[in-house]
Structure 1
Amino acid sequence: MKTGYVELARAQQERWQAAYEQHPSLHGAGASAAARWTAKLFGAAGIDDVLELGAGQGRDAFYLARQGFSVHATDFSESALHRLRLDAQREGLDDRVTAALHDVRDPLPPADATVGAVYANVLLNMAFSRTELRTLVNEIRRVLRPGGLFVYTVWSTDDSRFGKCAEIGDGLYAKDGFAGRFFDLDLVHELADRWELGGADPYEENGRRLWRVTQAKPAPLISS
């Protein structure tokens, strides 16, 4: 596997596509702990629309929709989104969950300042260069309305698997054909530049140690 990023991105897309084709419920049916926590935060903030990046087969998108949010789910796997659309229709959620094929290495589809909240569960720790991560976070800030919220979760360097996989360069590790990055607090703070960082909270789920990061797009200053 190469870290020439174009080759790496293509290899990862193929690997995830194959995984979703082989497993109709790859990540399970229940919502993640992150989605349950995030729904409460977004609800308390009066948000009703959510852009989910890296939605996979939709388990968190469906949970958010059941809590009353309108969710636009994106992923770079057509297989995952096919399952998401079928399940949304079967469960009567297709009026609240829309889906679009999109690779977050490309500019995000929404126009400037049109989205209430963005949610990404274990997406940013996938096979992105640090430059790609900074570009993505800048894109997220662009599409959010002033005061809009961004919640993401990532693997922590405190995770027991950190340092035990093959290192492939630029802080990325690979195992069984999947590549990713473990985050320390320095990287969390780097990506929060020009944001209001609400919190970087450690938590555990399914034996993994992760960060749950909350940040807001600053509202413009109003001069008197």
Structure 2
Amino acid sequence: MEPVADERELAKAQRAHWQDTYAAHPGMYGERPSDPAVHAAEVFRAAGAQQVLELGAGHGRDALYFAREGFTVQAGDFSAVGLDQLRAAARAQGLAERVTTVEHDVRDPFPLPDASVDAVFAHMLLCMALSTEEICALVGEVRRVLRPGGVFVYTVRHTGDAHYGEGTSHGDDIYEHGGFAVHFFPRDLVDSLAADWTLDEVHAFEEGDLPRRLWRITQTASR
């Protein structure tokens, strides 16, 4: 189903906002990996993964960490500006051979064959300005490209977050605050997205100065 006009306009505006933000603040999240990425690397290694697909990689702090940890990484994002910064950092760190990038909007099917990826990571990508329908389709694509037994680790802000219900409402639990639109997850959405998976863990944590309240979800594709 095609997104309604309001959804298309919101998606277009958010892409432009992220482009402008990365351009104005190069390397805005720093070089240190996120805590969820450090956890995910341990989970992926224990599962025997060698290849990692990161969705919403931005300027690459986590993608580069995975590469330093010995994984081969495909990093996707809809911001060409962020990916330019990622490629420059990969070259500077001697990781260019371990990291490839693709400019891609997760509202579209992944340009990957079925069962071609060992592990998928997405830090706060699923809780961007995506409708519930788009999120379900995205997780379906993750399931399609993962090999049997592959692991998906993702994080989302949830409805217990201080910004839930604040700012401009776009419906479907999406609220825009400070120019960034966020889809805040209720717990039943997490459970429904794991219906055809093994749900290994839902871990609550906090991040940032607000602090943001998130869940880190780990689920495994059925064999």
* Same-fold call, TM cutoff 0.5: yes
Aligned to 1:212: 216
Q: Offset at 1:3?
A: 7.0
Deviations 1:115-167 (A, max 9, x none): 00010000000000110000000000000001111000001222222222221
Q: Does 1:93 align with 2:121?
A: no
Indicate conservation of the 8 Å contact 2:53/2:73, yes or no: yes
2:173 paired residue among 164, 171, 174: 171
Aligned to 2:73: 71
1:103 match: 105
Could you say which residue in structure 2 is the equivalent of 1:27? 29
CA contact (8 A) 1:3 1:169 kept: no
Q: CA offsets per residue over residues 82-119 of structure 1, 9 Å max, x none?
A: 00001100110101111110001110111000100010
Write the distance in 2 (CA, Å) between the matches of 1:180 and 1:111. 30
Task: Give the unaligned 5+ runs of structure 1.
Answer: 220-224
Is 1:33–1:205's contact at 8 Å kept on the other side of the alignment? no
Aligned to 1:182: 184
CA distance in structure 1 between the aligned counterparts of 2:81 and 2:18, rounded to whole angstroms: 9
RMSD (Å), alpha carbons: 1.2
- Give the Cα–Cα distance (whole angstroms) in 2 for the partners of residues 173 and 160 of structure 1: 12
Matched, 1:161 2:158: no
Opposite residue 125 of structure 1, the aligned amino acid is: C
Counterpart CA distance in 2 for 1:175 and 1:204 is 18
Q: Quick one: which amino acid aligns to residue 172 of structure 2?
A: D
* AA aligned opposite 2:215: W
Correspondence 1:29-48 to 2 at 5 A: 29-48=31-50
Q: Which residue of 2 aligns with 1:222?
A: none
1:192 matched residue in structure 2: 194
In structure 2, the gaps of 5 or more residues are none
Q: What is the identity, as a one-letter code, of the residue corresponding to 1:114?
A: S
Aligned to 1:121: 123
- CA positional deviation for 1:190: 1.3
2:57 match: 55
Query: 1:8: Cα distance to partner?
Result: 1.1
Alignment partner, residue 130 of structure 1: 132
8 Å Cα contact 2:173/2:183 also seen in 1: yes
In 2, the alpha carbon distance for the partners of 1:132 and 1:203 equals 25
Distance 2:167 2:124 in 1: 18
SS of 2:129 mapped into structure 1: coil
- Structure 2 counterpart of 1:116, one-letter code: D
TM-score (ref. length: structure 1): 0.94
Alignment coverage as a number of residue pairs: 218
Q: Give how far 1:24 is off.
A: 0.5
TM-score normalised to structure 2 length: 0.95
The answer to which of 144-153 and 182-191 deviates more is: 182-191
